[in-house]
Amino acid sequence: MHPADEIRGVKSKKLSRKRIVIGVTGSIAAVETIKLTRELIRYGADVIPIMTPSSTKIIHPDSLWFATGNKPITELTGKTEHVYFCGKVKNQVDLLLICPCTANTLSKIAHGIDDTVVTTFTTTAIGSKVPIIIVPAMHLSMYDHKIVQKNIEECKKLGIKFIEPKIDKYKAKLAESDEIIAYVLRETGKNDLLDKNILIIGGPTVEPIDNIRIFTNKSSGKTAIELSKNAFYRGANVELWYGSGKEVIPDFINFNRFESINDLMELLENRDLKKYNIIILCAAISDYLPKRHKGKISSGKEKLIIEMYPAPKFISKLRKNAPNSKIIGFKVEEKKENLFERALNLLKINNLDFVVANKTSAFSKDESEIWIINKQEKSIHKKGNKSLLADYILDNIG
């Protein structure tokens, strides 16, 4: 067994049975391709490296051979490798990923010039309608060149997708591996949510008690992050409203932050919610708000009573502002008893399409247990990690 096979699919099976050709060009960012190809393999992919002559001066072909288990193609032979992998054949590859891509290679692609393995593979892939993603990496002065930008637009007209570089002072640096993986998953996935506009609202609210102290809850917002990522992988246009949790929001997700329920209400009033096909509300919104004290409450008191009053019902306002959207609410209880009944009550009172019920024991953990309840009062039960459950929820509400 090759070492690459030992890690295949250990992180996810989302790229299982997917074949990806990665075209490596002569950018110094080529050194990142070892790590990237290994990550693609951890998602289950079979990765076939191809290299320009310039790239072999930066990274030795044997390094990518070790990383992928496939010997890099550095020149074309009588096997007609470009046709074998990217031609109009029965067993086409699923994607041509050019990463990193220099201004030189990018411009050649735009003008149909074939003088390297990478450009010839690309011309063949364009003619055979194999999906192509280009990930540029170069000095910023090159990236900002008007002709280079024009060539990028010409490539886009051919249906080629681009992952924008990270601008750092005078460098247009290679995008992070997580972002590249996300776009690969999106391009090679089932795209059952393609062009759907989905809003996901998650994370905890924070309400001030005084100028220092706050009233909040243990929610992490992990479920919202996983729902956002998986909806993106499946082709959706995703927007995330995320509370005061500390989870890392991926660069490829559009998001807004909120703290208090008043912040949420303000977002609600300032957005046209009618554009969203699906809205998922999994935020842990406080049911009660503390009466705010001026300044800071003095320490040393023998007893401190915080007065609370009911918070406005965000979910009912949400339904009013998005009358035609499919809305999914979440209901959390400490125990399983009466969970179904209370979740169904939430669904009926607010005219929701689904409610996902779970227990407080899942807060801040990677594993959870859920019940998906619909208007017909039918329930589907599932256990697993939050990424798998996020996919399962999307399967059942789409």
Total residues belonging to the chain: 398
User: What percent of the chain has a predicted confidence (pLDDT) above 70?
Assistant: 99
Segment 268-294, tens digit of pLDDT? 999 999 999 999 999 999 999 999 988
- What is the location of CATH 3.40.50.10300 in the chain? 197-290+302-397
- CB atoms inside a 10 Å sphere around CB 265: 16
- What is the location of CATH 3.40.50.1950 in the chain? 3-188
Q: Report the CATH fold assignment for 3-188.
A: Rossmann fold (3.40.50)
**DSSP track, 172-217:** EEPPPHHHHHHHHHHHHS--TTTT-EEEEEESB--EESSSS-EE--
Q: Please report the pLDDT score of residue 386 as a whole number.
A: 87
Q: If you classify domain 197-290+302-397 with CATH, what class do you get?
A: alpha beta
Where do we find the tokens 């990193």? Answer: 100
Segment 205-257, tens digit of pLDDT? 999 999 999 999 888 899 999 999 999 999 999 999 999 989 999 999 999 99
Q: How far apart are the C-alpha atoms of 3 and 6, rounded to whole Å? A: 5
Q: How confident is the model at residue 193 (pLDDT cuts 50, 70, 90)?
A: very high
Q: How far apart are the C-alpha atoms of 39 and 7, rounded to whole Å? A: 9
- Give whole-number Cα distances, 161 to 80, 131, 164, in Å: 25, 8, 10
Where do we find the tokens 């994607």? Answer: 95
Segment 70-112, tens digit of pLDDT? 999 999 999 999 999 999 999 999 999 999 999 999 999 999 9
